[in-house]
Structure 1
Amino acid sequence: MALRRLMSTGLGAALATTALVAAAPVAAQDVSFEGQTIEYVIPFSESGGSARWANFYAPLMSDTLPGEPTVVVRYRPGAGSTEGANWFAEQDTDDGTLVFGTSGSTQFPFLLGDPRVRYDYADWQVVLASGTGGVVYFPPDLAERFDGDVDDLKEEFFLYGSQGATTLDLVPLLAFKMLGLQVDPVFGVEGRGDGRLMFERGEANIDYQTTAAYLANVEPLVEDGIAVPAFTWGALGDDGQIVRDPTFPDMPSFKEVCEATEGCETEGVAWDAWKSFFVSGFAAQKMVYLPGSASQEVVDAYTAAFEEIKNMDNFAEISEETLGIYPQATGDAARAANEEATSITPEAKQYVLDWLEEDYGVTME
């Protein structure tokens, strides 16, 4: 696959500033992990995007952390990732031998006030934030009626394979509602891969996949004439506005489609709610944390290691298939991403809670 041109987007301004300030990463003095094993825990199973992301970074961390420790990815799935996050919240390992990787499906329960959540992101120290994107696609017969807006598709009845209304599928389901599409989610699929298989079998007629999954699994369907891409969720521009996804610059963003579709608004509480979960689920989807008890020297060591990884001459090439072309934020940029991805206004939160209850009977009680 040809390497796509790197573009700055999605928390890009903060990331660019950090890159200038930290052109020569601070060497963490008196920190060495020589002979030690770093446990890189993710609250998911061995399959899926988070596992691919963690296993991409693990060997690079081994090479760049001081002392070249062994970095082993551990899996603690359960309760939609809240079980693993609750476990991490109880850890007080301060020597840097434990890190935790979250995803949007860990952030969403926190934003929604899920009673299963016993963790607080403010208690952790973020050292990396990774963005991603997503692509919505139709079968060819419906794609013929998409011309930048979905006005001609509002009478169509859609089926969509969904993991659940409070998972990452919250972003597409709310987007479909804002566009006025009649989408009936089939809840209970185990992953987005299963949603794609439903589409391939003709059991669903609308789907989305994250960037990595789209590039690996949907582009072949496009080449075979089975699927036609329509739009992306977009990315965050330097001014905090939604812009086109840099991995798919020829596709319109959801914002563009919303603006072109009658009745869809890109301002107001619905838009604020969608954007909050888009940032949490995509623009800053995956983050690496140290426990709050870790020392500043340990935090600096991890920051320097991730900076070294990002600055590798071939990083864009080796990361494109797994990460796409999105910012990998460290230092101040990672902290800014963490703040934006784990906060929501009370009005936007209440809007989402009301919508979930009214449309799907889902409550946070």
Structure 2
Amino acid sequence: MSHRLFVPLSLGAAAILLAPPALADAVSDFYGKKEITVVVGTSSGGSYDTTARVTARHFGQYVPGKPAVIVQNRPGASSRVAANWLYNAGPRDGSIIGAFSQTLGMSQALGQRGIKYDAARFNWIGTPIQPISVMVGWKSSGIRSLLDAREKEFVVGATSATGANFIYPALANYLFDLKLKIIIGYKGANEVDLALERGEIAIRGSGTWNDVKADRPHWLAGDKIVILIQNSLKKHPDLPDVPRFVDLAKTPEQRAVLELMGRVAAIGRPWLTNRDVPAERVTALRTAFDATMKDVKFRAEAKKLKMEIDPLTGAELQAMVAEMVKTPKNIVDLTNAALSRDGTQCEKFTDVKYCAKKKKKKKAKKAE
């Protein structure tokens, strides 16, 4: 399932490979006195958090100097809060690694509000997995195909208007003239899943196929769900008869938009470090990441957690993000048009205990 890109070795990386021992010693000396902090841009317990923690447990041994590696969560706005902090206020020494949303590059390309970073200037380290995102329908609702929503309204659960679980159904509505009613503001994926089981909603806007198998096996055993689409560049071996999102495209413009979504999905659960980090440290982090992906104990732990290891290197991610932020204007405009419609707020639809609390806007201080 790897989507490999040919990326020529940069002059900087080549120079490091040929560098004198003193340079390598400097990297070892730096990390030997430092602690690496992996900042996860989402809340604890989800796919991003679990993947980051498993990787972090095996990563430090391959970094020169063998530093301790700790994990912290800094959730908010689909990792935007953490990314803005790292880019503008975080250290640029390679001591902080961001485990952020796959949507950073796309959000920037679309000119979304609240972006205070340049995704292409981050130093991308790698991704352990390229999970296949799927849209799940609850069978008792009557849905069997996503295009059934051309004739009948189906309710979709989502967490926020910036996440994939809103973006995919919103795109489907606009591109294919569907009748999907999107409810935004659920606290998290668990709350969306519970709403699905209660019959409150008919569709989960997005989630990974691997998480369905690992966390909701009773859905499959009880024949309770239908996989409506998979958002990926290639089909998952388990889902040969489930269409890819891009397979629904009827025009070149629709195809370009949905291929962009497929590339976003391929970015997976990425690791990156800040801009302007010394090249030799970036190389050391990328090399350590690649070694971790091959580590026997890492792979064994991942297998126990039913994680499907399918890595991309930092160089591959760097090239993908650089291309993504240069998405042509006509594709940007079409995508933004599709995403410009707001969903129904969660608290207007269901018991507020399932909804994320709205942040109170700070009142401007009166001038004294």
TM-score range, shorter chain: 0.7 to 0.9
Q: CA deviation at 1:314?
A: 5.7
**SS state at 1:244 partner:** coil
Distance of 1:152 and 1:101 partners within structure 2? 37
- What does residue range 336-355 of structure 1 map to in structure 2 within 5 Å? 336-355=319-338
Equivalent residues of 1:150, 1:179 under 8 A apart: no
Q: TM-score, normalised by structure 2?
A: 0.78
Give 2:225's aligned residue.
227
Equivalent residues of 2:170, 2:341 under 8 A apart: no
Q: 1:252 aligns with which of 242, 252, 262?
A: 242
Distance of 2:298 and 2:173 partners within structure 1? 35
Q: CA deviation at 1:174?
A: 1.1
Q: 1:269 aligns with which of 253, 258, 264?
A: 253
Give 1:165's aligned residue.
161
The Cα RMSD (Å) is 3.1
Report 1 or 2 for greater relative contact order, CA contacts < 8 Å, sequence distance ≥ 6. 1
One-letter identity of the residue aligned with 1:29: A
Equivalent residues of 1:108, 1:166 under 8 A apart: no
Distance 1:79 1:314, change over 3 A: closer
Distance 1:216 1:327, change over 3 A: closer
Identity %: 21
- What does residue range 147-296 of structure 1 map to in structure 2 within 5 Å? 150=146, 152=148, 154-169=150-165, 170-207=167-204, 208-234=206-232, 236=233, 243-246=234-237, 248-255=238-245, 258=248, 264-265=249-250, 267-280=251-264, 282-296=265-279
Q: CA deviation at 1:80?
A: 3.9
**SS state at 1:319 partner:** helix
- What does residue range 76-87 of structure 1 map to in structure 2 within 5 Å? 76-87=74-85
Give 1:261's aligned residue.
none
Show CA shifts across 1:114-168 (max 9, x none).
231111113221111342211223233466x73xx65555322200111233321
One-letter identity of the residue aligned with 2:270: M
Equivalent residues of 2:41, 2:74 under 8 A apart: yes
Equivalent residues of 2:38, 2:72 under 8 A apart: yes
Give the aligned length: 329
Q: TM-score, normalised by structure 1?
A: 0.79
Show CA shifts across 1:275-326 (max 9, x none).
213322x111332222222111111111111111122246555335668446
Equivalent residues of 2:38, 2:56 under 8 A apart: yes
Moved over 6 A (4+): none
Equivalent residues of 1:12, 1:327 under 8 A apart: no
Over alpha carbons, which structure has the higher Rg? 2
Q: Can you give the 5+ residue segments of structure 1 that lack an aligned partner in the other structure?
A: 1-7, 237-242, 259-263
Q: 164-173 or 69-78: which moved more?
A: 164-173
Show CA shifts across 1:178-214 (max 9, x none).
3443110111112222221111110111224223421
Distance of 1:343 and 1:193 partners within structure 2? 35
One-letter identity of the residue aligned with 2:24: Q
Q: Can you give the 5+ residue segments of structure 2 that lack an aligned partner in the other structure?
A: 345-368
Distance 1:168 1:288, change over 3 A: same
Please say if 1:29 is aligned against 2:27: no
Q: 1:332 aligns with which of 315, 320, 333?
A: 315
Distance of 1:323 and 1:168 partners within structure 2? 22
**SS state at 1:137 partner:** strand
Q: CA deviation at 1:105?
A: 4.3
Show CA shifts across 1:246-289 (max 9, x none).
4x34342324752xxxxx51x42233123213322x11133222
Distance of 2:291 and 2:228 partners within structure 1? 37
Distance 1:317 1:174, change over 3 A: farther
Equivalent residues of 2:246, 2:255 under 8 A apart: no
**SS state at 2:125 partner:** strand
Distance 1:320 1:153, change over 3 A: farther
Q: CA deviation at 1:230?
A: 3.6
Distance of 1:245 and 1:342 partners within structure 2? 27
Distance 1:156 1:350, change over 3 A: same
Give 2:139's aligned residue.
140
Q: CA deviation at 1:47?
A: 3.2
